[in-house]
Amino acid sequence: MVRLQDLQQINRFEWEIPKSYREDMRVAVRIFATRQLLEEIKDDKSLEQATNAATLPGLVGRVVVMPDVHQGYGFPIGGVAATRLPHGVISPGAIGYDINCGVRLLASQIEFEAVKKDLSDLADSLNRLCPSGVGKKGHLRLKIGELEKVCKDGSRWTLQHGYATEADLRRTEEKGRLVGADPTKISKRAKERGRPQLGTLGAGNHFIEVDVVDQIFHQDAAQVMGLIEGNLVVMIHCGSRGFGHQICTDYVREFQAAVKRYSIQLPDRELVCAPLDSPEGQAYLGAMRCAANYAFANRQVLAHFARQAFEETLAGKVPHWHLHQVYDIAHNMGKIETHEVDGKLTEVCVHRKGATRAFGPGFQGLPQEYRSIGQPVLVPGSMGTASWVLVGTPESMKRSFGSTCHGAGRTMSRRKAKKTVWGEDLRKELQAQGIHIRAGSMAGLAEEAPQAYKDVDAVVETVAGAGIARKVARLRPVAVIKG
């Protein structure tokens, strides 16, 4: 167990576990946290898992830990690690089972006060049109050939089938399509699981949330994004569903043998990996990109049905009921990117697991209108608490491989949450606060209670204080749809 005395304090917001902490560490671990958050972090195995991650072959710079970090299974949730091309490794477990789990934000010109009385109906429509919950299938039934097109084309497929606009694609990370997706590297079983699930939310911590823009901190950026104080926005949080889960399962299993072939010693079998330039590494990269593209398409189809719910509920009641896309960003992903390492521009594979890409101003891959403000970062909260819109900064490029936090981060086990919180009581409590809840399971709702999470405001203040993101707007939930 890593103790506080093992850490070196760098400044108010940064701490380091030196490489000398353990013989098998290849790089140091840099933690972005205040002392108060660190006290919470040290209570689970997050830091031990971060030191384990620091043993991956080919790492450059440092393993980075975000303030919303919590214990995962191998690699901590809230971790970033970059490996050098071509011989550094790629680790499926360092990306996670829910490949391209991410967040989409849609904004509106609808004033909250004007539709307050319609929110319950809106929550019902969203709940009906956007399938959520355990084992729920979507409105679409893809044949294998069509699924393979989704794998290759991602959000572009949804545009061709009437679920998206060009503007949506432009405001999606990588325009909703990672190049290099290879459906031949996916198992038949993954395809079977993926066919009925496109356009579904799933369960667990995934949700669709209607928020009010509560406070604006960066007026110029908010204006460019179309965020207006007092107006409604919609946040969609989900990933690649059973399709991504199966792809990760398949490759974590296959890599159990690969690590032996490449004589890679690791402290945890969930960290198994293969060199990026090996046939195994290339196969996983091609398969992972399929899941990433599926997830982009999944959130796009859900956005289509969210728009339909708004139209169904609010058309004629307000002058403009359209939802425009602010951005869509992944927080479980492996990406080939160029970063400055030891003063040189270096091609690396950045593993982000529970961490959001946060590229600063000037990045060419951003839509023209965002190049001067930096990439939007979407940070969901925990039902009863705020969610945030941030932007990436030049500092995030220098200090965290262009990454920042991804949410509030759990602090209480699901078991304890269920023992502490009664789902129906929580629903009533949130309703009394003006938050309309639609949940598939009251036990599931209790597990996701706000008190099971860290204070998202404290997490955001930490990344803002450290300079690895800048605050744009704070959002307040008024309706939450959970699986």
Partner 1 sequence: MQPQSLSGYRELPHTADWELEVWAPDLATLFEQAARGMYHLCEAILVSHPRITRGIELIIIEPEILLIDFLTELIFLTESEGLAFDEFNLKFESNRFIADVTGAKLESLSKEIKAVTYHNINIRETGSELKANIVFDV
Binding track, positions 116-135, relative to partner 1; x by CB under 8 A: ------------------xx
DSSP strand pairing (436-439 vs 470-482): parallel
Catalytic annotation, pick one of 331, 351, 406, 436 = 406
* Nearer residue to partner 1 within complex by CB, 85 or 417: 417
Crossing angle of helices 279-314 and 144-153, rounded to 10°: 100
What are the residues whose beta carbons fall under 8 Å from the beta carbon of 257, sequence distance 6 or more? none
User: Which residue has 């602090």 as its token pair?
Assistant: 411
Q: State the minimum distance, in angstroms, from the CB of residue 381 to partner 1.
A: 16
Q: What DSSP designation does 401 have?
A: S
User: Which residue has 């220098």 as its token pair?
Assistant: 398
* Nearer residue to partner 1 within complex by CB, 270 or 347: 270
Which helix (H) or strand (E) segment is 295 a member of? helix 279-314
Q: State the minimum distance, in angstroms, from the CB of residue 480 to partner 1.
A: 18
DSSP strand pairing (29-32 vs 14-17): antiparallel
Distances (CA, A) of 414 to 7, 263, 273, 378, 418: 29, 37, 29, 24, 6
Q: Is 352 in the site for partner 1 (CB under 8 A)?
A: no
Cα-to-chain-centroid distance, residue 334:
12
* Nearer residue to partner 1 within complex by CB, 392 or 450: 450
In 3D space, the residue among 381, 339, 388 whose CA is nearest the CA of residue 359 turns out to be 339
* Binding residue (CB under 8 A) for partner 1 from 412, 437, 449, 478: 412
Q: How many CA atoms lie within 13 A of 446 on its CB side?
A: 15
CB atoms closer than 10 angstroms to residue 363:
15
Counting residues that bind partner 1 (by CB under 8 A) gives 44
Q: State the minimum distance, in angstroms, from the CB of residue 192 to partner 1.
A: 6
| Span interacting with partner 1, options 12-20, 213-221, 306-314, 410-418, rule CB under 8 A | 410-418
Q: Is 245 in the site for partner 1 (CB under 8 A)?
A: yes
Distances (CA, A) of 342 to 62, 397, 398, 410: 11, 13, 11, 34
Q: Is 70 in the site for partner 1 (CB under 8 A)?
A: yes
* Burial class of residue 261 (count of CB atoms within 10 Å of its CB; 0-12, 13-18, 19+): exposed
Q: Is 189 in the site for partner 1 (CB under 8 A)?
A: yes
* Nearer residue to partner 1 within complex by CB, 35 or 137: 137
Entry field: residues in the chain: 483
What is d(CA 108, CA 233) in angstroms, rounded to the nearest whole number?
6
Q: Is 193 in the site for partner 1 (CB under 8 A)?
A: yes
Q: Is 22 in the site for partner 1 (CB under 8 A)?
A: no
Binding track, positions 433-462, relative to partner 1; x by CB under 8 A: --------x-xx--x---------------
Q: State the minimum distance, in angstroms, from the CB of residue 245 to partner 1.
A: 5
* Nearer residue to partner 1 within complex by CB, 201 or 285: 201
What is d(CA 177, CA 290) in angstroms, rounded to the nearest whole number?
9
Q: What DSSP designation does 318 have?
A: B
Q: State the minimum distance, in angstroms, from the CB of residue 68 to partner 1.
A: 11
Q: State the minimum distance, in angstroms, from the CB of residue 301 to partner 1.
A: 19
Q: State the minimum distance, in angstroms, from the CB of residue 331 to partner 1.
A: 14
* Binding residue (CB under 8 A) for partner 1 from 248, 295, 326, 349: 248
Cα-to-chain-centroid distance, residue 26:
27
338: helix, strand or coil: strand
Q: Is 77 in the site for partner 1 (CB under 8 A)?
A: yes
Which helix (H) or strand (E) segment is 419 a member of? helix 414-420
Q: How many CA atoms lie within 13 A of 289 on its CB side?
A: 21
What is d(CA 237, CA 97) in angstroms, rounded to the nearest whole number?
15
- What Rg, from alpha-carbon coordinates, does the chain have? 21
* Binding residue (CB under 8 A) for partner 1 from 74, 176, 380, 467: 74
Q: State the minimum distance, in angstroms, from the CB of residue 203 to partner 1.
A: 4
* Binding residue (CB under 8 A) for partner 1 from 356, 375, 411, 462: 411
Q: State the minimum distance, in angstroms, from the CB of residue 43 to partner 1.
A: 9
| Span interacting with partner 1, options 89-97, 321-329, 345-353, 426-434, rule CB under 8 A | 89-97
* Binding residue (CB under 8 A) for partner 1 from 16, 22, 118, 204: 204
* Binding residue (CB under 8 A) for partner 1 from 71, 165, 308, 346: 71
* Binding residue (CB under 8 A) for partner 1 from 253, 260, 320, 428: 253
Instruction: Write out the DSSP string of 146-179.
Output: HHHHHHHHTHHHHHHTTS--HHHHHTBGGGG--T
* Nearer residue to partner 1 within complex by CB, 9 or 413: 413
- Residue 70 known to be catalytic: no
Q: Is 317 in the site for partner 1 (CB under 8 A)?
A: no
Q: List contacts with partner 1 (CB under 8 A).
A: 44, 46, 70-74, 77, 93, 96-98, 134-135, 189, 192-193, 202-204, 242, 245-246, 248-249, 252-253, 256, 268-270, 272, 410-416, 441, 443-444, 447, 483
Catalytic residue set: 406
